[in-house]
Amino acid sequence: MKLSDMKDQSFSRRTLTEWQEAAEKALKGKGIRSLHTKTYENIELKPLYTKDDLPGVDRVKAYIPNVEGKLERAQKWFIAQPVKRGSWEELTSAMKDALSRGQNCVSFEVGDLDITEDFDQFIKEVVELEIPVFSIEKKTAFSIQRMMEIPELKEIKGVMGFDPINENPEHVFEDWLEVVKEVDEHLPNLKTIIINSALYHNSGASATQELAYGLSEGIAYIETLQEKGLTIEKIAGKMHFHFSVGSHFFMEIAKIRAFKKLWQEVLSSYGLSEQAIANSVSCSAETSQLNKSTLDPYVNMLRGGGEAFSSVLAGVDYLLVAPFNEVSGEANAFSERISRNTQLILGEEAHLDKVVDPGGGSYYVEWLSEEVGKSAWKEFQDVDGDGGILACLKNGSIHEKINRVRESRIHDLATRKNSMIGTNIYANLEEPFQAPSSNVGERLSLPFEKLRERACKLARKPVAGLIGLGKLKTHKPRADFVKGFLATGGIHANQSKECFSKEDVLQYVEETRYPYYVVCGTEEEYQGKLPMLIESIHHIDSTIVIDLAGKIPDEHEWVRLGLNGSIYNKQNILKKVDELLTIWEEGTDNDKA
């Protein structure tokens, strides 16, 4: 077809009913409802959204793009990659290097360094008053107090502080708020009231929980600081919200868009003017720690890239992309560069810094933002009704709610309802195992990493024998599934040649003498040969453990004949592999005895 002909082509309009009829035909009778999914936020998603799903006109003004009153700024954000080194001299050099390579924000972590005169020299050398500073770790409290004594920093701007509510509210909350008042007198352009809801996210919270608890913290700060004599205008101008962004692309966009709407409403309820509100919505995001893995760590690059993408589309002011190998404690100059360049690519090559609210007007994004906002507000009201965020953290109700969601996430990974490439699916046993860093928290992949660690500690590599019954094309699908299943726990698989008779199977078992075998074949092959094979293999060695590929009832007659169990789709990988690894662990103990 010629280009001129293509330009003349058009598509006839179709109704929603026509689409539903076509979809149901393709689904072969399953019905449209089979395409609906439920999120961890208890929001039901449809496969298609139309203009009828848009919220009311008065609700669509939810989003405040990062324009500071000027559309020319569009969607630009500050690249706030934190730099951490072992000495102030190294930190100074690394920070200068990052700024020369595209970073536009002084972001650092003090870590184990002492706050001495060396810090004074560092901050004087790297801070240019035209660019902001960003640091939200706890030790920042000590550095910011020292900065107040440096006259040259009077006009410094940005975000510095930490979230005492998440650290230890009973002991440091009131003390830090006194620091906030003092800092305002010496460094008036710094935002020092930090609401770090990333800590909820990285514990496993849903998007609506993270949002609700962040809003609850914001209210706690406002109420307490008003009692200390600060005006709502002053308090709002000092507040900054920090989020963690996970891999549910649209949900994370909706979360931050909903936050901006809800926070506007909160500030408006305290009597803040519309102009003041527009200048008081400040937020940042970091890529999620929850979904990162030490297994096949390069996949973390893809996860971080997608999370950074959704953060930018949502309109954050500052963005931190964690190095892909941070979870194993191996972050280095290379991984830091990749993280920084991820943001540069989003701006310079994907042109995301040239668009204002790219999600605006999308039927799905607008609908989802509204639903997330409604659910988060309901959760916020529940916290408020139970005495507020401080009371709920103290009595453990918030942690209990978060843990329920976290357990659901882990269960969905264990049964492969959700996928984590390189961890619960497509595990790469050829790549050296990296033990996780002890300070990166309770990530979702940790149970799988612990299984792999157990496998790596065995004196002998755990290898399972796969017995392929019949022709390769008939047993290969199940054999491939079993290989992938076992690999998630660090168990290697050796597949037999085509086995057509009992003699073929016994020859393979005699040659290999593995402690564990999985029989792979069709249901017909099982019915005709399995009882005989179980008896014959146990005649060679009664301690050999035998499973088959494919689900069977727990009380099946084959189990009574000596079959251990089976490996099948939607099975809990963590439980099954945990049981299987004991085969080799007990064998090692017997060898020692």
pLDDT single digits (tens) 410-438: 999 999 999 999 999 999 999 888 777 66
Which ranges of the chain have pLDDT less than 50?
59-62, 64-74, 592-593
Residue-level pLDDT at 171: 63
CB neighbours of residue 221 within 10 Å: 24
Give the residue from 414, 568, 423, 580 showing the smallest Cα distance to 491: 580
CA dihedral in degrees (51, 52, 56, 59; nearest 10)?
Answer: -50
Residue-level pLDDT at 62: 46
Residues 6+ away with beta carbon under 8 Å from 426? 296, 484
Residue-level pLDDT at 57: 53
CA dihedral in degrees (208, 212, 215, 219; nearest 10)?
Answer: 170
- The tokens describing 477, both together, are 């699908």
Residue-level pLDDT at 169: 57
Residues 6+ away with beta carbon under 8 Å from 386? 392, 397
Going by DSSP bridges, is the β-strand pair 158-160/239-245 parallel, antiparallel, or unpaired? unpaired
Give me the amino acid identity at 60. Answer: V
Greatest alpha-carbon span in the chain: 88
Question: Residue 574, class by beta-carbon neighbours within 10 Å (0-12 exposed, 13-18 middle, 19+ buried)?
Answer: buried
Contact 239, 195 (CB under 8 A): yes
Residue-level pLDDT at 75: 56
Give me the amino acid identity at 552. Answer: I
For 76, what's the count of Cα atoms within 13 Å in the CB-facing half-sphere?
11
